[in-house]
């Protein structure tokens, strides 16, 4: 037991981040009480993601998402990937729904939509930040990686886009960001994810399948571009884009997400 504890501590130390202890099997958020004498009038929950093979958690500050970052997906969404610069949107940190590996977690079908879409993505977690980060130094900011889903109320997103209004209502809602455990860079045999299969199936039928090297903007380029618009901080995570063939699900469907080198993520729509 002592040797196991020492190995876990060494892993986290090598990854360069201090994290709070929590149960791996617990939910993705941990409540935080105001300290005695605090001027806060009520407590707020802190969103966290469990770190694989440890009892530690990663506190989430912001969720950034890049849009249309695979060529075929950009085309199916009506964009020209040869001309369009990267663009980003955000989800609230409490949109996280932690999905333990080896389980099929219930995922609620949200209100107001009749066209609910899946998008499998590689999730990048940062333990360093800054402004105007050069591309050749951007990967130094990465703590680790996970499998994630960017769930989307597509009909609402498109309706807002047609009206030239912000489409936050289509992307930024409760439980819209399912994610598996974070795997620290130090634990990954292959290091940073720059290639490898990314795929998604619904009820056992493959719907999305591509390679991570097909991203238009690499993880390093995404970090660098984001840092020109926002000062990045430890605790920020990035949903790095989805391949083509996004599509709808209905209650009863089971979504299974796979990225080579990471455990699968599965949810049942309820």
Query: What CATH number does residue 238 fall under?
Result: 3.90.850.10
Count of the separate structural domains present in the chain: 1
| pLDDT grade for 17, boundaries at 50, 70 and 90 | very low
User: Which tokens belong to 11?
Assistant: 């892993």
**pLDDT surpasses 50 at 115:** yes
CA–CA separation, 235 and 175 (whole Å) = 18
Mean pLDDT across the stretch 46-56? 97
- Unique residue bearing structure tokens 């800054």: 130
15: containing domain: 2-26+43-269
CB atoms within 10 A of CB 40: 10
In whole angstroms, give the CA distance from residue 190 to residue 169. Answer: 37
Comparing 18-32, 179-193, 253-267, which segment has the lowest mean pLDDT?
18-32
Say if 7 falls within a structural domain.
yes
Percent pLDDT > 90 in the chain is 78
- CA distances (Å), origin 183, targets 21, 148, 169, 175, 263: 16, 12, 30, 21, 10
* Residue 58 domain flag: yes
Identify whether 35 is part of a domain. Answer: no
Q: Is residue 33 assigned to a domain? A: no
pLDDT the model gives residue 23: 34
**pLDDT over 70 percentage in the chain:** 86
Confidence bin at 5 (pLDDT 50/70/90): low
Q: Quick one: pLDDT at residue 1?
A: 55
- Please indicate, yes or no, if residue 55 is contained in any of the structural domains: yes
pLDDT in tens, 138-164: 999 999 999 999 999 999 999 999 999
Instruction: Look at residue 108 in the predicted model and tell me its pLDDT.
Output: 98
Residue 78 lies in a domain: yes
Total Cβ atoms within 10 A of residue 91: 21
Whether residue 32 is contained in a domain is answered as no
Judge whether residue 14 has pLDDT over 70.
Answer: no
Does 34 fall in a domain?
Answer: no
Q: What is the mean pLDDT of the chain?
A: 89
Q: Does the structure show a pLDDT above 90 at 79?
A: no
Average pLDDT over residues 39-53: 94
Q: Is the pTM of this model over 0.85?
A: yes
Question: Residue 61 pLDDT > 90, yes or no?
Answer: yes
pLDDT in tens, 230-263: 999 999 999 999 999 999 999 999 999 999 999 9
Judge whether residue 29 has pLDDT over 50.
no
Higher pLDDT, 33 or 47: 47
């Amino acid at each position: 037991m002592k040797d196991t504890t020492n190995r876990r501590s060494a892993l986290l130390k090598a990854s360069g981040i201090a994290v709070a202890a929590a149960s791996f099997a617990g939910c993705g958020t941990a409540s935080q009480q105001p300290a005695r004498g605090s001027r806060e009038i009520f407590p707020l929950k802190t969103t966290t993601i469990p770190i694989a093979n440890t009892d530690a958690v990663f506190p989430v500050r912001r969720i950034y998402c890049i849009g249309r970052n695979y060529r075929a997906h950009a085309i199916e969404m009506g964009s020209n990937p040869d001309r369009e610069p990267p663009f980003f949107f955000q989800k609230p940190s409490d949109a996280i729904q932690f999905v333990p590996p080896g389980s099929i977690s219930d995922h609620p079908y949200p209100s107001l939509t009749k066209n609910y879409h899946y998008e499998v993505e590689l999730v990048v977690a940062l333990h360093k930040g800054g402004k105007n980060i050069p591309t050749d130094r951007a990967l130094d900011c990465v703590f680790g990686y996970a499998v994630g889903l960017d769930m989307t109320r597509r009909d609402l997103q498109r309706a807002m886009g047609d009206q030239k209004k912000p489409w936050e209502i289509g992307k930024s809602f409760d439980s819209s960001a399912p994610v598996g455990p974070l795997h620290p860079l130090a634990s990954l045999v292959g290091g940073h994810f720059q290639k490898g299969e990314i795929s998604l199936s619904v009820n056992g039928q493959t719907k999305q399948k591509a390679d991570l090297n097909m991203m238009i903007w690499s993880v390093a380029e995404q970090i660098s571009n984001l840092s020109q618009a926002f000062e990045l901080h430890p605790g920020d995570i990035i949903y790095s884009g989805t391949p083509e063939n996004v599509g709808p699900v209905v209650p009863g469907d089971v979504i299974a997400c796979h990225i080579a080198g990471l455990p699968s993520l599965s949810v049942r729509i309820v």
